[in-house]
Each structure stands twice: as C-alpha cells, then as structure tokens.
Amino acid sequence: MKSPTGARFLGRTAIVTGGGSGIGAALTRALVAAGTEVWCADIDLAAAERVVESIARPDKASAVRLDVCDADAVRDLVEAVVAARGRIDFMFNNAGIVIGGRTQLLALEQWNRIIDINLRGVVHGVHAAYPHMIAARGGHIVNTASAAGLMASGLLTSYSATKFAVVGLSNALRSEAAQYGVGVTVVCPSAVETPLLETGKVGDFRGRDFFLGAENSTRAYSPERLAEEVLAAVARGDGVLVVPRRTRIGWFVSRIAPRFIERRLIDFVRRQTSSSSVT
C-alpha cells in the first residue's frame, strides 16, 4: 500500500520538543519510521532517552535535554543540527503543559510558567529554525496547539490563552513563509491519551473527566494515530489540523453559532464546579 506521506520524510532532519512523552514521543517514533532523523528533545532527558531506546532504529534518533524556555539552548540545538547535517527540515514545537482550574486560584507564577513554555517555547523554536529554512528555501514548522486554541474554555483560561496565541502565530507565519517555500502547520487536537490529562490540576479541577466531558466523549484520542495524521497533514501541506471529527464539527458550529456554544460551555463549567465548596 502507498504511504500517505510518500517520500516526504525520507532522509530529512527534525527536532521534536517535548519528545519524551505522549504526542512528542509518538511523533518521534512516526518520523523515524518514515525515514527522518530525529532529535528528541525534552526537559526530562531520561524520558527522551527511553523513547529513543524504544525505537527500532535508535541510530536515527538522538535524545537531548532541552528546556524550551531557554532561547539560547533552543538556538544551540538548531545550530548543532544544521552544523551536523547541513539543514533542519522540520521543527516540531510540541512541548507544553496544561493548568486547569478556577482562574482566581492561579498564582502569577503559574501564568508566567505556562506562557513561558507554551508560547515562548514555540517562539524560541520558530526564531531559531525559521531563518535556516528561509535560507534553504524549504522546511516545515509544526506547532502543537490544541482545540482549546480554537474554542476557548472556562477553567482552562491560561491554557486557552497560550494556545490561541500559538494558532495566531502559526496562521500569521504561514502566509508569510509560503514565499520561501516554508510550510507551517498548527495541530489542534482535543483530548489525547497522554499523562498531560492528569497534570496541572489546580483546586478541584477534574483533569481527564473535564477534558472528556467537554467534548462529550468517553475516550481520548490515541497519540500514535494523531502522529500519523500530523505527518499526513504536513505531507499534504495542510495549515490547520483539527481532530477528531466531532471537534472539527464543534469548531464549525462555534464559528456560525458562537452564542450556542458559549451557553453550552457556561452550563458545562457550572456543572464541573457545582459539587465543590471552593469558590
């Protein structure tokens, strides 16, 4: 059977940030399987090493410790890949965290942290890789945002804010980068089965139950399936990838009937918070 990505990833180079877990780990594996050499970069080096060791062709992936908040470190990694292989073909700005809970309970440090990782981390990746792609007249930047970057949700205020910014950055850059032959894809999934669903809980936030309830679902999406869809979207040159299908429908409805979706969200958030004494 013909691969949906053809030879698009064969003999290429990629950096995947947040490659040590969840979606980044699945992207690393899918890229190596498609013939790309991957620098699997994570603030948790041991996690990145485990991902690389689990790959059938570990010689095609390198684990590196990287904090995406550190602009110099991101630039140094991109420069090292370009120095070693002559080019950086794909920059997957995927590292991210979530913080869920009532906005009044968030400390300013939490706001700053999520902005640093989810937004500045992406900015650092773009700032470091994009000039090399322009010079090479080719390359592709893939930013992992979220469905929360297309449809804002209460109890995810800081997360939604960063993800809307990543969608805006990606869409703006796409129209500018096209003249250099550089592609930009922004990935907007709803709940994906990764450790993130149960992290970043503030106060009475319900984590996984919240994310699944928000989309009326009982199952989160598979990271492996998402990674395959991301590669296929990049190969097609799609600008925005929204999965699963019901999220695409929800996004469409939110644009033609925003008040309807907003009323549903107000009810949902009220139900999520009504059984708790926290205010």
Ligand X SMILES: NC(=O)c1ccc[n+]([C@@H]2O[C@H](COP(=O)([O-])OP(=O)(O)OC[C@H]3O[C@@H](n4cnc5c(N)ncnc54)[C@H](O)[C@@H]3O)[C@@H](O)[C@H]2O)c1
Of 13, 14, 16, 22, the one binding ligand X by CB under 6 A: 22
What is the DSSP secondary-structure string of 199-236?
Answer: SSB-TT--THHHHHHHTT-SSPBPHHHHHHHHHHHHHH
By CB under 6 A, which span of 65-73, 133-141, 168-176, 246-254 interacts with ligand X?
A: 65-73
d(CA 199, CA 259): 30
Helix, coil or strand: residue 43: coil
User: Is-catalytic flag, 130?
Assistant: no
Rule CB under 6 A: choose which of 16, 96, 200, 229 binds ligand X: 96
Is residue 18 part of the contact set for ligand X (CB under 6 A)?
Answer: yes
Backbone angles phi, psi at 189, to 5 degrees: -90, 155
Please identify which residue in 14, 38, 43, 126 interacts with ligand X, judged by CB under 6 A: 43
Binding mask 99-128 for ligand X (x = CB under 6 A): ------------------x---x-------
| Separation CA 91–CA 85 (nearest Å) | 14
| Residue 243 in the binding site for ligand X (CB under 6 A) | no
For ligand X, the closer CB: 179 or 195: 195
C-alpha to C-alpha distance for 35 and 253, rounded to whole angstroms: 38
Of the candidate residues 61, 68, 165, 227, the single one contacting ligand X (CB under 6 A): 68
Integer Cα distance of 25 and 31 in angstroms: 10
Q: Which is nearer to ligand X, 36 or 160 (CB)?
A: 160
Report, in Å, the least distance between residue 126 CB and ligand X.
14
Binding mask 175-204 for ligand X (x = CB under 6 A): --------------x-xx-xxxx-------
Rg, C-alpha atoms of the chain: 18
In the complex, what is the shortest distance from the CB of residue 177 to ligand X, in angstroms, rounded to a whole number? 21
Q: Cβ of residue 1: shortest distance to ligand X, in angstroms?
A: 28
Kindly state the number of chain residues that form the binding site for ligand X, as judged by CB under 6 A.
32
| Residue 17 contacts residue 68 (beta carbons within 8 Å) | yes
User: Which residues make beta-bridge pairs with 143?
Assistant: 93, 186
* 62, 146, 185, 273: residue in contact with ligand X (rule CB under 6 A): 146
Supply the angle between the helices 22-33 and 223-236 in degrees, to the nearest 10: 60
DSSP H helices in the chain: 22-33, 45-53, 71-85, 108-114, 121-136, 157-177, 208-214, 223-236, 245-256, 258-274
> Is the separation of the CB atoms in 195 and 249 below 8 Å?
no
138 or 201: CB nearest ligand X: 201
* 69 is a site residue for ligand X (CB under 6 A): yes
Q: State the nearest-atom distance from the C-beta of 25 to ligand X, in Å.
A: 7
Q: Is 42 in the site for ligand X (CB under 6 A)?
A: yes
The footprint of ligand X (CB under 6 A) covers 17-18, 20-24, 42-44, 47, 66-69, 94-98, 117, 121, 144, 146, 189, 191-192, 194-197, 211
- The catalytic site residues sit at 159
